[in-house]
Copies of this chain bind each other. A is one copy, B any other.
Amino acid sequence: MTATVSSPAERRRNKIRARILSAAERVFAREGVDGLSIRRLAENIDYSPAAIYKYFKSKDELIDELKESFFELILESVHKIADTSTPFDERARDCVATYVRIAVEKPYHYAAAFAGEAAADGPAPVDGEPGFELSKKGQAFNVLRGMIAEGVEIGAFRSKIDPSLAAKSVWASMHGLTMMIVHIPSFPALKADQAIMSRENFILFHADQVIRGLEMHHE
């Protein structure tokens, strides 16, 4: 279908670019941004350090691509669940829980995806700013907003809720849990004299808690 617009040279170039990225991905997933140095990376793929700069403007740009494709993974997974036909409550809970689960599997990716922004590429786009809607992160946010709008429509959530606003609040809450788990390996450990809750169950508990904040109160 798609005409082969790429020349052989171009294809070879993309292949090497991809090889660099995949080598970077391996190191980054295991050791994070500090463990990944241009020099080590270059040695891994048998190039000189300077060669990397023929393919990427900077280390930041390289890592940005890793982060973006990581969020693509999250987006796919969440989308898959959002499109299910399971009952709304369950679906909503699974959605947010999945977000956390995937993120926790690649802690360095997730942490870096947020940590880098303030310093680097200038202020990161948020909902309502150009660029956000296009980013994978932005698309994931839109899925979340859609679900909340659906909840309001079917009467599960309070009617005065603004989906955009609520989505940000829910996102913040799930982001917080994720960061906690990512940064504090033993989270959520509990005192010896109390019932120990597994991480998986805590994720569900937290998701329930967050969703409950949106629900109708029949008083």
Binding site for B on A (CB under 8 A): 32, 34, 107, 111, 114-115, 117-119, 123-129, 162, 164-166, 168-169, 171-180, 182-192, 194-195, 197, 202, 205-206, 209-215, 217-219
Contact = CB atoms under 8 A, between A and B. Distances in A.
A40 to B, nearest CB: 17
Copy number in the complex reads 2
A169 B209 contact: yes
Contacts of A194: 128, 162, 164
A164 B187 CA distance: 12
Contacts of A111: 115, 118
A176 B206 CA distance: 12
B179 A124 contact: no
Nearest to A206: B169
A10 to B, nearest CB: 35
Nearest to A215: B217
Most-contacted residue by chain B among A119, A176, A184 (CB, 10 A): A176
Contact of A174 (B117, B164, B176, B185): B176
Contact of A129 (B186, B209, B217): B186
Contact of A164 (B172, B186, B190): B190
A165 B183 contact: no
B182 A172 contact: no
Nearest to A185: B123
Contact of A213 (B124, B128, B210): B210
